[in-house]
Amino acid sequence: MPYRVLVVDDSGAQRRLLFAVLERAGFDVLTAASAEEALEICQGPEGDRIRIVISDWQMPGLDGPEFCAAFRRLRGDTFAYFILVTSHSELGTKTKGLRAGADDFLTRPIDLAELHARIAAGRRVLHMQEVLEHRNHEIQKSLADLQAMKDAVDRDLLEARKLQRAFLPDDSHRVGDTRLSLRLLPCQQIGGDLVGWFDISATEVALYSVDVSGHGIASALMTGRLAGLFRDTEVGRNIAFTSPDGRPDPPERVMQRLNDLMLAHFDTDIYFTAVLAYVDLVTGEMRVCRAGHPHLLIRRADGTVQKDGKGGLPVGMFPGVTFEAETLWLQPGDLVFAYSDGLTESTDTWGDMLEEEGLIDLLATVRSDATQAIDDVEHGLRRHAGIQGFDDDVSMVAMLYQPMEPSAGVVGMAHGLAAGQEAEHRRAL
């Protein structure tokens, strides 16, 4: 479609000359005898396609620069190439025209070769403008498509977060007078942390904390798979239960099985750290296996904080790795606390991490309730991080130990203390 040119001149002869020259050059030409008439044309249905304006400077009513300024206000962001025709060649005159919005000038008497050259320059500018508008349209469309994709992903991630939360046990749990509580604070919509517990028997409970490498979709998928391995307590469904007598395998053997599973069935570079603890709620015996995970901490009833000693390699990195467990003893009122390293590696506005020492200081002052203790730790963590927020997923599980009275049916069971064990227990306390 040819460019539409508007010629504005109070001289009929000049209008007819320009009309004939431009029409022969292939343009769609409109003419106006005054700036006021030209503005009416621009406001009408014929005005939208005007791409070039050639206007006389000296006209009754609005002169050329005044018409140019009014035309620019009318068209807004829609660009048109504006040429002012003047008999003046002084620098100050052209400066006035440029400030009004003119793009180029023609000097009377009009030289047709110069006219064609000025029009050709205008066409080049208009072509570049059209290319830019086209590219801008493509960019806007791409951005809209990307935003639509992001919105769809965000909706999926929101549902995934709900599903991931459904993998976890309830926020709190009670076995006798012993209370347990957990907290999951992903740094994105979904995360790679997993915490929870499962009942071993009427008087025993297991705690676990898992931190999968990374904190994106792949990590979240892995936590979902691991959550399924710990969720049910039936033999063959929970990875800890393989014996037909219903007793769980030792935590170090469970960690070994997880390592074998990761290396044999998952073709991925993902690995995870973990801690798994079995707690006898009658005797206070706690058997702990830690695989590259932060220390399991015990806030004693007197306010002192103790940490487990044995470590080990992460799960899923090397074949043939063996894991070790240690036995700790709990006293009434002790608070057991397991967490991911996103907590201690959280930085403040100066870039300083909380570190394990900072967490120990927090634990020494928390309230003596599992849920309230986690509330206090989270509050202290957010106060430390400030506007930084969390760079990594944060998860916590806490247990406030209160011993259970052994029932008649429990006395003499496999997990009860023999005389020698009881004596050892007393010495440990």
Of 116, 114, 113, the residue nearest 124 (C-alpha) = 116
- Give the pLDDT mean for 69-93: 86
Q: What CATH code would you report for 168-428?
A: 3.60.40.10
- For residue 213 the two structure tokens come to 């490498």
> What does the pLDDT look like over 197-217, one tens digit per residue?
999 999 999 999 999 987 677
Are residues 344 and 304 in contact, defined by beta-carbon separation less than 8 angstroms? Answer: no
Q: Following DSSP, what letter does each residue of 337-406 receive, concatenated? A: EEE-HHHHT-B-TTS-B-HHHHHHHHHTTS-SSHHHHHHHHHHHHHHHHGGG--SS-EEEEEEE--PPPP
Per-residue pLDDT band for 83 (boundaries 50, 70, 90) equals very high
Residue 163: the pLDDT is 72
The Cα–Cα gap between 381 and 396 comes to: 12
244: preceding bond cis by omega (within 30 degrees) = no
Work out whether strand 104-107 and strand 81-86 pair parallel, antiparallel, or are unpaired: parallel
Does the predicted TM-score (pTM) go above 0.85? no
Question: What pLDDT sits at residue 27?
Answer: 93
Confidence grade of residue 425 (pLDDT, cut at 50, 70, 90): very low
Contact 209, 192 (CB under 8 A): no
Q: Where are the domains of the chain?
A: 4-136, 168-428
Q: How confident is the model at residue 89 (pLDDT cuts 50, 70, 90)?
A: low
Separation CA 12–CA 86 (nearest Å):
16
**Distance (Å, whole) CA 289 – CA 253:** 9
Token pair, residue 270, equals: 């993902």
The pLDDT of 85-105, averaged and rounded, is: 85
C-alpha count within 13 angstroms, C-beta hemisphere, residue 31: 16
Rounded to 10 degrees, the C-alpha dihedral 18/22/27/30 comes to 10
Tell me the average pLDDT across 235-242.
78
Largest CA-CA distance found in the chain, in angstroms, rounded: 124
pLDDT band at 230 (very low <50, low <70, confident <90, very high): confident
Across 153-162, 227-236, 384-393, the highest mean pLDDT is recorded for 384-393
| Percentage of the chain modeled with pLDDT above 70 | 92
Round to whole Å and give the CA distance between 257 and 262.
Answer: 9
Annotation: CATH topology of 4-136: Rossmann fold (3.40.50)
pLDDT at 412 over 60: no
Judged against a pLDDT cut of 70, whether residue 408 lies above it is answered with no
- Tell me the per-residue pLDDT of 349-363, one tens digit each, with 9 for 90 and over: 898 999 999 999 999
pLDDT surpasses 70 at 295: yes
Q: Where is average pLDDT lowest: 25-39, 308-322, 409-423? A: 409-423
Residue 416 has pLDDT above 70, yes or no: no
* Stretch (H or E) spanning 307: strand 305-307
Helix, strand or coil, per DSSP, at residue 178: strand
Q: Which of 20-29, 168-177, 357-366 has the lowest mean pLDDT?
A: 168-177
Q: How many helices (H) and strands (E) does the chain have?
A: 11, 16
Could you tell me the CA-to-CA distances from 418 to 5, 162, 205, 404 in Å, in that order?
Answer: 105, 46, 20, 17
Say whether 299 sits in a helix, a strand or coil: strand
Residue 141 pLDDT more than 80? yes
pLDDT value, residue 234: 54
315 CB contacts (<8 Å, ≥6 apart)? 255, 258, 259, 262, 271, 272, 273, 274, 291, 292
159 has pLDDT over 80: no
Mean pLDDT for all residues in the chain: 87
pLDDT of residue 428: 41
Instruction: Give mean pLDDT, residues 92-112.
Output: 89
- Would you state the pLDDT for residue 310? 81
Output Rg (C-alpha) for the chain, integer angstroms. 39
